[in-house]
A and B are shown apart, each in its own frame.
Chain A
Amino acid sequence: MKIKTLLGATALATLPLTGGVAFAQELPACESCADSMVLMSWGGAYQASQVAAYAEPYAALTGVTITWDEGSNEAVAKMRAASEAGNMTYDLVDVEGPDSQRACDEGLALEVDFDAVLAAGDDGSTPTDDFGTSGSIINECFVPQIVFSTTFGYRTDVAAWNGATPDSLCAVFDLETFPGMRALEGRPKKNLEWALLCDGVAKDDIYDVLSSEGGVDRALAKLDTIRDSVVWWSAGAETPQLLADGEVVIGSTYNGRLFSAIVEQNQPIGMLWDWQVFDYDGWVIPEGLDDARMNRVMHFLNFATDTQRLADQAKYISYGPARGSSQPLVSTHATLGIEMAPHMPTNPDNQKNFLVNNIEWWADNQDEVEAVFQNWLTR
């Protein structure tokens, strides 16, 4: 019910900007298209923002039935299983940048011709240029939607800290000034980079050090110093929960989840933007769709990633749109009415220190490093 009313508001809010006529022009009829779609995404607040910003509007305009599968954290495994079974059950899959690389490398995802499939920017720029300005085109299969970051949140009411407030990433590794439990993702990505940064490695040298002999061990040794105080999470929703319960005092997660906990739920949590790690999230089209489904997917993709729709998404969640032309359109939160810009990871105040996930390095080394990390974790 609530989503429905939100939807009405969105549709009304977008109309004055694009105009009813433009709407009709934007959405040409879809010829010989399937009349249902299965989309895979992450569930939670993020999927809700997708539903509100473009899935429901699209369904309302075309009458297409959209079914959601909340399996994106195992997207590549699921696509591989479906592909091996010769029955691709998903029409469009929402994945993180590195997973798109993996799916693309394995031939599980289709290459997309940006300029032929996607809508031009509202400012007249070609899709390639428009997405290119945010640096989000990372491979030929990936149609980016948002820029998000992984960063830390901390409790603002920890008595044992004696009034100290974490203002640098290395507070995470400082058990003396900031005692208490931490929450970190049970995967090597980002954790290793952060550990090295706090072990005195310069930003530009991180991946050189990780590639060198003993580099990964050095990062793990740094993590060993706090290991007994770490709760390992696997889903992004865990950290806000752990912080809200007071189970951990500081923890990493996606910035949008922290935004919800801080702004929407008024939890006593502070945001530590220092050395946030940027990443992209977007769609990939799985290999093995028949023509009708493919036509439908292309039609939807064109609509769902246009300038206005991506800007709309930022009303519901504090992730930056992946199109350059969407940035100026980012406005206020759909229900709270606050300005969203200061909560965006890309806001200049928030990105004094930041890392961009090195997708190529991780694509090459993921298998090796992941195995080492999991073994370290188990022992």
Chain B
Amino acid sequence: MTDHTASAAALSADGMPLKRSLNRALRRQKLRAFVLIAPLLVFVLFTFLAPIGDMLFRSVENQIVSETLPRTVKALADWDPASDAPPGEAAFRALGHDLVIAVERKTHTRLGSRLNYEASGMSSLLRSTGRDVEDIGEDVSAALGALDPAWTEAATWVDLLADPAWIAEQAAWSASGNRSGEPAFRLSDTASSALPDTAEIYGSFARITQQENDRSPTRQDPWHLVAITLVEEITATPSAAQAFQGDHALRLAAIAQADLPATDFVAAFGASNDRWATPTPWAVIAMYSAPYTPGYFLNAVDLGKTPDGIAPRPVEEQVYILLFLRTMWLSLTITGLCLLLGYPVAWLLANLPSRQANLLMILVLLPFWTSLLVRTSAWKVLLQRQGVINDVLVWIGLISDDGRLVMINNQLGTIIAMTHILLPFMILPLYSVMKTIPGTYMRAAKSLGANDWSAFWRVYFPQSVPGIAAGSILVFILAIGYYITPELMGGARGVFISNRIAYHIGTSLNWGLAAALGTILLLVVLVLYWVYDRFVGVKNVKFG
């Protein structure tokens, strides 16, 4: 705006260079404009863009696997998902650890649902093993109890592993008679350095007991997993016992000498479900362990990851491409029908004397102002087998009572109802463009020798194209995302992709896939818009 450079001599009234003064004034103006739109901007940002962004982000987000099974993911890092055998014992052990914690936190069912999106069977596998995993090591706990009854008491474990300062705080809290707000558990430094694995597991146990179950670790028997870990750790390094004093040192030394059997996690998992002895579930965990995944997007286009790379899903699971194509095809049909029906109406609106045109306009707008649900339900009443249209056809003898037409719960129902509902969105832009085409052009064409058709086709129609473009793009974009009318009218085969998105949001709770499908739908609309811009030009679109 200030592109012609002012000479150094050009000063404003207060002695400042003119350019600076002008800039300042402009800045103030811009600032004022910004302040004026700021409420709307903030509103749109927080209530529209942020939630949409957050939802779309779910289409790639996959932290749940590494958060729920951190040890397993680590243990599987070196394992090749394409191999024919399950991973080694370390992975079973890691999964055993992770699952015990996940079951306590109740996160294993969510993980199961998540992995089941990728490979059918993972949900039931994790649920059934989740029920068994807490019993792994029951024999070790029993053996420890037999060796020294002190191990069956929660207090022994606390005394061995907790920070003495915490024990004192906890005792003071307990004596105060409070029922909530127990001090957060802390591990003792001795235990953490001498028995790191045991301390870590016990720390998880104490935290979960306090936070998730609202109980005190001083009163809860630790998981069998703590016993397993302790036995293994002390058997491997008997010297760790020397870090402790008094009874603890003796008890730990006794474990080291007792030579208790190691727990066989491979056998325990195999006993719970023989699928763990195959590489399949492990491959699924390994392939989907990254914090971000293309899995949902692959799923949304009927593809899936396999150990050998990306491959099409089994035929019976391929539905999304079909649904996208169906949505496109039905939307195009609806747009075409709207144009066919709307064009003459818009022409009448633009060319009738204003009295009749106003009446016609009211007839167009009245349904437009009526609730969407009411109109859809009205179509249901009209179109159903025992509905008005069929009744009339039977009454005048066009069809027999047994041969009533099926016009609902199929694609026809969706097309009819949506064409009616979207018709005003075609008529109004057409009308506003046609209103601006002077009638003199047609008369001029005719006076120059054109017949009615060529006057219309070569003079009037080209001028109405921007209206057609605006109406079509509006109707098509609205149609492609329609949900409620196909849901009510479409039956099983007349539904759109948005119905499937709603199903994944509300019923199957597969929000990641819903987000991926939504993102693709958004992209499709943007691409269509771009293509349209290339060929028709958005400049030519007129909404009025």
Contacts and interface: CB of A to CB of B under 8 A. Distances in A.
B74 interface: no
Interface in A234-253: 245-247
Contacts of A363: 127
Given A77-B509, A364-B127, A372 B495 contact: no
Interface string B499-517: 0100101111100000000
A174 to B, nearest CB: 18
A354 B341 CA distance: 54
B123 A364 contact: yes
A378 B386 contact: no
Contacts, number: 78
Interface in A349-379: 363-368, 370-372, 374-379
Contact of A106 (B106, B409, B505, B507): B106
A372 B316 contact: yes
A342 interface: no
Nearest to A378: B319
Given A77-B506, A77-B507, A365 B124 contact: yes
Contact of B107 (A80, A102, A107, A375): A107
B229 interface: no
A106 B109 contact: yes
A232 interface: yes
Most chain A CB neighbours (cut-off 10 Å) among B109, B110, B120 = B109
Nearest to A379: B319
Contact of B409 (A80, A231, A367, A376): A231
B128 A364 contact: yes
Interface residues on A, range: 20 to 34
B120 A371 contact: yes
A102 B107 CA distance: 12
B463 interface: no
B319 A245 contact: no
A74 interface: yes
Nearest to A244: B386
Interface in B122-154: 123-124, 127-128
Interface in B271-329: 316-317, 319, 322-323
Nearest to A241: B380
Nearest to B318: A375
Contact of B492 (A80, A186, A245): A186
Most chain A CB neighbours (cut-off 10 Å) among B121, B386, B492 = B492
A181 B385 contact: yes
Most chain B CB neighbours (cut-off 10 Å) among A76, A107, A186 = A107
A375 B316 contact: yes
A181 B106 CA distance: 43
A208 interface: no
A105 interface: yes
Contact of B500 (A105, A160, A378): A378
Contacts of A77: 505-507, 509
Nearest to B126: A364
Nearest to A245: B386
B123 A370 contact: no
B202 to A, nearest CB: 22
A378 B492 contact: yes
Interface string B379-402: 000001110000000000000001
Contact of A246 (B116, B385, B492, B505): B385
Contacts of A247: 384-386
Contacts of A374: 319, 503, 508
B112 interface: yes
A231 B413 CA distance: 13
Contacts of B106: 105-107
Nearest to A232: B492
Contacts of B116: 367-368, 371
Contacts of B500: 378
Contact of B509 (A76, A365, A372): A76
Contacts of A372: 120, 316
B248 interface: no
Nearest to A74: B506
Contacts of B322: 378-379
A74 B507 contact: yes
B493 A232 contact: no
Contacts of A105: 106, 109, 127
B131 to A, nearest CB: 9
Interface in A144-177: 160
Interface in B458-477: none
Nearest to B115: A367
A106 B105 CA distance: 9
Contacts of A371: 116, 120, 317, 508
26 contacts: A74-B506, A77-B509, A105-B109, A106-B106, A107-B106, A232-B492, A246-B385, A246-B386, A247-B384, A363-B127, A364-B123, A366-B123, A367-B112, A367-B508, A368-B116, A368-B121, A368-B123, A368-B124, A371-B116, A374-B508, A375-B317, A378-B319, A378-B323, A378-B492, A379-B316, A379-B319
Interface of B: 105-107, 109-110, 112-113, 116, 120-121, 123-124, 127-128, 212, 316-317, 319, 322-323, 384-386, 402, 409, 491-493, 495, 500, 503, 505-509
Closest 7 CB pairs of A and B: A107-B106, A367-B123, A364-B124, A105-B109, A246-B386, A74-B506, A367-B116
Given A247-B386, A374-B508, 11 more contacts: A105-B127, A107-B105, A107-B212, A232-B491, A247-B384, A247-B385, A368-B124, A371-B116, A375-B317, A376-B316, A377-B492
